[in-house]
């Protein structure tokens, strides 16, 4: 009799702990995730992200195209905006395009994508014709130092780097964080009701919500040989830099992101949207940090390399940094807001604009600002 | 006994302690507690029906001027017809969003304002002299955009345009058919509102097919697609590799594109605020509904935030050239910045506002993956 209410008391106490824990760390054991990103229904996989894999491969060809003197404006534009003209013919005729997924989420600024079109024009109109000209302030051309040779525009930008690093934010990061993992997307239309009822997309083995999550997953892991054992470091976009950050700045970040993708996906299967959104938040914050680390590191690299008397190597680093700074505006701090707005990113890009006259002190200051604001 | 009391106390402590952790909506202000019925009556009687009545007046004037013009196709009558067309087109901007009831059933907006026109199809209609304006194939060959072409685009200058009408009755006939079709469609919609009003105002519950949910969705859909995408985003090239000048609304006269957009923006702002069509009064609205719920976003009032962003978008529009074709040519980035400003409201309406109302989005973005 004395202990009649003890079990209830214990239950209440644990309820109290669960329901009132800090908003940022939602403790919930109701979703037991599998150990790998493997999800099946009736013995068949429900995971599909072929469109993302296609676009990641397209990005690799565009990266090569943006540094080849045999590229043409029409050819690069056809690849970027029409999704056609790739040497890997499996990429053609898919209907997938990078252009329409460049800074294209509901929160991205529409002013950014035209910068990519302009880079294609600048590269083919100015850099390629000056392939054998010595680059100078105001003149596109070639620059060589002891470390490397770069082909740059009149402002010193190595466009293949700006373009590709810009896509790391503009396509992969923006699509994952602000597109597929946003509640607006995941819960769009009748997704929630359909997922609750187990209503599958016509002709498919997945619900819309499951598929959206997988598509987000695909922008990071779409080029893995085996998504149940990801290595990172694939292709030219986010995966490549996730590995670099995991191997240096932030050991373990890769596992944090992967585990969150698994748990979030398991939460969708379990119809537990609170857990799902908590995992989305973890992914948003940590992928944002990858962008932050690289923007920070390349700005500092520029300063070091410029001081070391290797201007081509320095410009190469700054071109990467410029693309990552551009990418900062589509980071997501877990509340739907970027760490740096479009206006703030543009202000930094304006300071960096001409690599021939850029101030090392400005670069250092920006690197520090990124580090502080993103708690790197 | 003491332990039981302690336990009850403890449980109530848990409940009260956790109750304020909900971030946006006060628990005792359930979305349905707002008087949606009053809002529907205000929408119907002070906004929708008066806007349709006013539109009908402009269309009657357009119809009369068409009659005068086809009887004597001269410069004076052409100028008059053009001015009536513009007045009516501006008035149309106030009702395009009400794609509900009969309007939705007869594809009213598809027959009134699909652009760009299909020029070769339209030319072919004129040449053949026979066409079925009910057919979806002809949505892009009728309505205000088709009149834009008929009044400004069929030849290079006014003398040549008038020549078309004086020398070929097919032009007269097609112009007349277009206006007649617009009048009959409008009559159908307006007449139906007489009966539909009762159905409309009584459907205030929160279901996917209730008037509040449908019209709120219609409004957001209009703002997102009809206004943001059609008038700004698509011509500015947001969804394509390059800008698409031909997609500018009123492409053949061009220099009223901003005027039309501003009118649409005003209509949207008025609807959100619950301002009556005549501008003289206001009533229950999406805005006051949000205010009632004390909805917040990042710590500030959501209802005010929407207003701020709508006004900011309007300011951005005001900075544009009157002619969006020349705006695209001279500095397309200004249109893209305008698009951003318009888009920032979409997120607030479609995600934050609908969450506060507990209304589901009833349309899906066709962004294809």
A188:B364 CB<8 A: yes
**Sequence ranges of the domains in chain B:** 24-357
| CB-CB under 8 Å, A107 with B241 | no
Give the Cα separation of A182 and A205 in Å (integer).
Answer: 22
Which residues, at least 6 apart from A235, have a Cβ–Cβ distance to it below 8 Å?
Answer: A56, A57, A59, A60, A223
Q: Do B237 and A109 touch (CB under 8 A)?
A: no
User: What distance separates the 2 farthest-apart alpha carbons in chain B?
Assistant: 102
Question: For A51, which of B242, B346, B369 is closest by C-beta distance?
Answer: B369
What's the gap between Cα B343 and its chain centre?
15
Chain B residues within an 8 Å CB radius of A16: 14, 17
Which residues of chain B fall below pLDDT 70? 1-32, 365-369
Lookup: tokens for A56: 């990641």
Q: Which residue's structure tokens are 């202990």?
A: A3
CATH class of this structure's domain B24-357: mainly alpha
Helical segments of B44-168, H only: 49-71, 75-92, 102-105, 108-112, 119-128, 143-148, 158-167
Distance from CA of A42 to the nearest CA of B (A): 25
Chain A residues with CB under 8 Å of B351 CB are 182-184
Q: Do A184 and B347 lie within an 8 Å CB cutoff?
A: yes
Per CB-CB distance under 8 Å, the chain A contacts of B346 are: 106
Phi-psi region of A189 (alpha: psi -120 to 50; beta: other; left: phi over 0): left
Radius of gyration of chain B (CA): 24
Rg (CA), chain A: 23
Across the interface, do A189 and B363 touch by the CB < 8 Å criterion? yes
Is B29 in a helix, a strand, or coil?
coil
What does DSSP say about strands A44-45 and B300-301: parallel, antiparallel, or unpaired?
unpaired
Which of A8, A77, A190 is facing B360, going by the closest CB pair? A190
Q: What is the pTM of this model?
A: 0.84
Phi, psi for residue A151 in degrees, rounded to 5:
-110, 120
* Check: complex ipTM more than 0.90: no
- Chain A residue numbers with beta carbons less than 8 Å from the beta carbon of B4 are 5
Mutate to test the interface with B, among A6, A111, A185 (most CBs of B within 10 A): A111
- Whether residues B14 and A95 touch (CB distance < 8 A) is answered with no
Task: Quick: pLDDT tens for B165-177.
Answer: 999 999 999 999 9
Across the 376 residues of chain A, what is the mean pLDDT of every consecutive 10-residue run?
43 42 52 96 96 98 97 98 96 96 96 96 98 97 96 98 98 98 91 95 96 98 97 97 97 98 98 97 98 98 97 98 98 96 98 97 98 96
Nearest to B144 by CA among B82, B101, B223, B195: B82
B363 and A77 within 8 Å at the Cβ level: the answer is no
Among residues B327, B143, B121, B148, the alpha carbon closest in space to that of B252 is found at B148
Contact B337 A111 (CB under 8 A): yes
Q: Do A183 and B351 touch (CB under 8 A)?
A: yes
Query: Residue A25: CB partners within 8 Å, gap ≥ 6?
Result: none
How many Å lie between the alpha carbon of B368 and the closest alpha carbon of chain A? 9
Residues of B in contact with A106 (CB under 8 A): 343, 346-347
């Amino acid at each position: 009799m004395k202990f009649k209410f003890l079990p209830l008391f214990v239950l209440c106490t644990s309820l109290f702990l669960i329901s009132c824990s800090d908003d940022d760390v939602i403790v919930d054991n109701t979703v037991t995730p599998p150990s790998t990103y493997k999800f099946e229904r009736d013995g068949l996989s429900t995971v599909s992200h072929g469109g993302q894999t296609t676009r990641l491969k397209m990005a690799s060809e565009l990266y090569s195209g943006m540094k080849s003197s045999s590229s043409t404006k029409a050819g690069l534009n056809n690849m970027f905006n029409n999704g056609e003209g790739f040497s890997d013919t499996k990429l053609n005729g898919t209907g997938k395009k990078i252009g329409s997924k460049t800074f294209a989420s509901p929160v991205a600024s529409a002013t950014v994508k035209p910068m990519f079109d302009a880079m294609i024009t600048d590269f083919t109109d100015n850099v390629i014709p000056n392939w054998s000209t010595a680059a100078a302030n105001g003149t596109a051309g070639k620059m060589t130092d002891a470390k490397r040779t770069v082909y740059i525009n009149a402002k010193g930008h190595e466009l293949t780097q700006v373009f590709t690093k810009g896509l790391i934010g503009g396509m992969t990061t923006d699509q994952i964080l602000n597109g597929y993992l946003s509640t607006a997307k995941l819960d769009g239309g009748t997704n929630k009701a359909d997922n609750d009822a187990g209503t599958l997309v016509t002709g498919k083995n997945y619900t819309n919500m499951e598929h959206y999550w997988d598509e987000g997953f695909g922008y990071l892991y779409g080029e893995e040989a085996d998504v149940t054992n990801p290595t990172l470091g694939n292709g030219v976009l986010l995966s490549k830099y996730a590995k670099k950050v995991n191997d240096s700045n932030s050991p373990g970040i890769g596992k944090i992101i992967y585990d969150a993708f698994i748990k979030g996906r398991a939460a969708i299967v379990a119809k537990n949207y609170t857990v799902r959104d908590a995992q989305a938040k973890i992914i948003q914050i940590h992928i944002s940090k990858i962008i932050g680390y690289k923007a920070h590191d390349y700005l500092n690299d520029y300063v070091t390399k410029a001081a070391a008397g290797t201007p081509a190597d320095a410009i190469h680093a700054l071109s990467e940094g410029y693309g990552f700074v551009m990418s900062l505006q589509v980071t997501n701090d877990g509340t739907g807001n970027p760490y740096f707005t479009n206006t703030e990113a543009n202000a930094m890009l304006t300071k960096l604009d001409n690599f021939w006259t850029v101030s090392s002190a400005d670069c250092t200051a920006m690197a520090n600002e990124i580090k502080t604001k993103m708690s790197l | 006994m003491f332990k039981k009391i302690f336990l009850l106390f403890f449980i109530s402590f848990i409940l009260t302690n956790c109750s304020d952790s909900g971030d946006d909506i006060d628990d005792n202000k359930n979305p349905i507690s707002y008087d949606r019925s009053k809002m529907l009556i205000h929408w119907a009687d002070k906004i929708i029906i008066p806007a349709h009545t006013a539109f009908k007046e402009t269309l009657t004037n357009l119809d009369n001027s068409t009659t005068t013009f086809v009887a004597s196709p001269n410069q004076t009558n052409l100028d008059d017809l053009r001015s009536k067309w513009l007045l009516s087109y501006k008035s149309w901007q106030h009702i395009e969003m009400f794609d509900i009831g009969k309007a939705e059933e007869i594809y009213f907006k598809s027959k009134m304002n699909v652009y760009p026109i299909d020029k070769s199809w339209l030319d072919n209609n004129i040449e053949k002299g026979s066409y079925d304006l009910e057919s979806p194939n002809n949505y892009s060959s009728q309505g205000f955009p088709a009149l834009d072409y008929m009044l400004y685009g069929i030849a290079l200058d006014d003398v040549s345009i008038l020549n078309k009408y004086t020398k070929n009755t097919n032009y007269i006939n097609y112009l007349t058919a277009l206006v007649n079709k617009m009048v009959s469609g409008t009559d159908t919609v307006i007449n139906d509102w007489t009966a539909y009003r009762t159905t409309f105002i009584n459907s205030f519950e929160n279901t996917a097919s209730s008037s509040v949910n449908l019209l709120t969705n219609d409004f957001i859909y209009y703002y997102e697609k009809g206004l943001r995408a059609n008038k700004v985003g698509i011509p500015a090239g947001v969804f394509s590799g390059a800008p698409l000048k031909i997609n500018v609304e009123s492409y053949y006269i061009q220099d009223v594109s901003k005027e039309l957009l501003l009118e649409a923006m005003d209509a949207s702002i008025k609807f959100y605020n619950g301002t009556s069509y005549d501008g003289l009064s206001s009533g229950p609205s999406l805005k006051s509904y949000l205010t009632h719920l004390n909805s917040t976003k990042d710590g500030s009032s959501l209802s005010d935030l929407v207003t701020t962003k709508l006004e900011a978008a309007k300011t951005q529009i005001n900075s544009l050239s009157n002619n969006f074709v020349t705006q695209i040519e001279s500095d397309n980035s200004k249109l893209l910045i305008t698009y951003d400003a318009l888009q920032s409201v979409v997120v607030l309406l479609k995600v934050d506002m609908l969450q506060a109302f507990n209304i589901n989005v009833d349309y899906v973005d066709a962004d294809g993956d």
